[in-house]
Amino acid sequence: MKRAYNFGAGPATIPTEVLEIVQKELIDFKDSGISIMEASHRSKLYDDVHESAIGNIRELYKLPDDFEVLFLQGGASMQFAMAPLNLYEGGKVQYANTGAWSKKAIKEAQIQGIEPEIVATSQESNFDHIPEVNFDDDCDYTYITSNNTIYGTQYREFPSTASPLVVDASSDLFSYAIDWNKIDLLFGGAQKNAGPSGVTIVIVRKNLLDRVKDSVPTMLRYKTHADSNSLFNTPPTFGIYILNLVLEWIKSKGGIGAIDKLNREKAKILYDAIDNSGGFYVGHAQKDSRSLMNVSFNIKDKDAKLEAQLLEEASKANMIGLKGHRSIGGLRASIYNAMSKEGVEALVELMQEFAKKHN
């Protein structure tokens, strides 16, 4: 069996141990004679999985009781619209614009007739850092993207504000401990750091659920899904099942603290290789904004020919998904929770040999 080191940004690598469990349980789930994906979402068989997934999120994230965990569909992109639909009350709204995903979120608010204030941006330097963000305390809501998947930048600390803070954490879910005093709504598609595509995880403070206007369609209200424990309609059951296995896997590794530590070690190995390459590799992000999840870089002088050659050599060595996002080019190594240290070390070895040959 061939198993590649998959550095793709998303859908992304899932722990092999998890896929092996899925494979083993696929046809006959827990001696039921059916697959979990054939089970009614109202059955005990599925309900145990559903409750386990919610419980594991609460446990891993040390989530206070005044938050709801929701499993929705439509991806993070749906949340760009749902957050304003549920939180906007006609007042002030502030966003930080740290890249393509922030921009899309801002656009969805504008479509709803909201005029968000962009209080901070790093657009003028092609989003190579997280700017200082100061939100007012009297906003309907404020908004950040915690990890910028394309540019490879990440907040070290969330802004403090008395206004509700919305966080798009699509590409750094379950990778570090969160201070829930600072956050009111956090969301992300599972397909980068938490499982397969099709499940969107939403964590929302309960006191925000009643804001929603009567004109908002039933399915687009957080309250609908909170009141029905994400079982208002059929949830993405198979995706939630795999998400739950990924959460169990994180627990088996020692929880979020241990994963965070490992992520820091992995990122250091890769960033050190870039920094010690004598300028052959050039990172996109400024050092104090570097993402632990997505490492975006170029070869010196943005040499597209050499970059293509490195991609090809990587592919031959069973390392895939390293092409940078089309909007900035170059290379990007996504080193999410499920990427092993061995994978990062193999990549660094290849990069060092390549640099030696071509420098």
Ligand X SMILES: *Cc1c(COP(=O)(O)O)cnc(C)c1O
Minimum distance, C-beta of residue 168 to ligand X, in the bound complex (Å): 5
Residue 168 is a catalytic residue: yes
> What is d(CA 231, CA 61) in angstroms, rounded to the nearest whole number?
22
Distances (CA, A) of 180 to 21, 67, 160, 203, 309: 32, 9, 11, 10, 45
Q: Which of 128, 168, 172, 184 is catalytic?
A: 168
CB of 150 or CB of 274, closer to ligand X: 150
CB of 79 or CB of 86, closer to ligand X: 79
CB of 142 or CB of 277, closer to ligand X: 142
Sign of the four-CA dihedral 209, 140, 175, 77 = positive
Question: Which one-letter amino acid corresponds to residue 298?
Answer: N
Interacting residue ranges for ligand X, rule: CB under 6 A: 10, 75-77, 101, 145, 149, 168, 170-171, 189, 192
Cα 229 → chain centroid: 23
Minimum distance, C-beta of residue 261 to ligand X, in the bound complex (Å): 23
Buried b (16+ CB within 10 A) or exposed e, 75-91: bbbbbbbbbbbbbbeee
Minimum distance, C-beta of residue 122 to ligand X, in the bound complex (Å): 15
CB of 189 or CB of 195, closer to ligand X: 189
Q: Where are the alpha helices (DSSP H) in 205-236?
A: 222-227
Token readout for 200 is: 């969107």
Distances (CA, A) of 191 to 94, 243, 248: 27, 9, 16
Minimum distance, C-beta of residue 10 to ligand X, in the bound complex (Å): 5
Minimum distance, C-beta of residue 262 to ligand X, in the bound complex (Å): 21
CB of 83 or CB of 355, closer to ligand X: 83
Q: Which of 101, 103, 223, 266 is catalytic?
A: 101
Minimum distance, C-beta of residue 252 to ligand X, in the bound complex (Å): 26
CB of 199 or CB of 306, closer to ligand X: 199
> What is d(CA 108, CA 83) in angstroms, rounded to the nearest whole number?
10
Q: Which of 103, 192, 223, 266 is catalytic?
A: 192
Contact between 193 and 18 under an 8 Å Cβ cutoff? The reply is no
Residue 249 is a catalytic residue: no
Minimum distance, C-beta of residue 296 to ligand X, in the bound complex (Å): 13
- Taking the CA atoms of residue 191, residue 192, residue 195 and residue 199 in that order, the dihedral angle to the nearest 10 degrees is -40
- List of residues 6+ apart from 303 with CB closer than 8 A: none
Residue with tokens 């998947």: 149
Q: Where are the beta strands (DSSP E) in 112-195?
A: 117-121, 141-145, 147-148, 153-154, 165-168, 185-189
CB of 74 or CB of 255, closer to ligand X: 74
Strand partners, 183: none
Catalytic residues, by residue number, are: 101, 168, 192
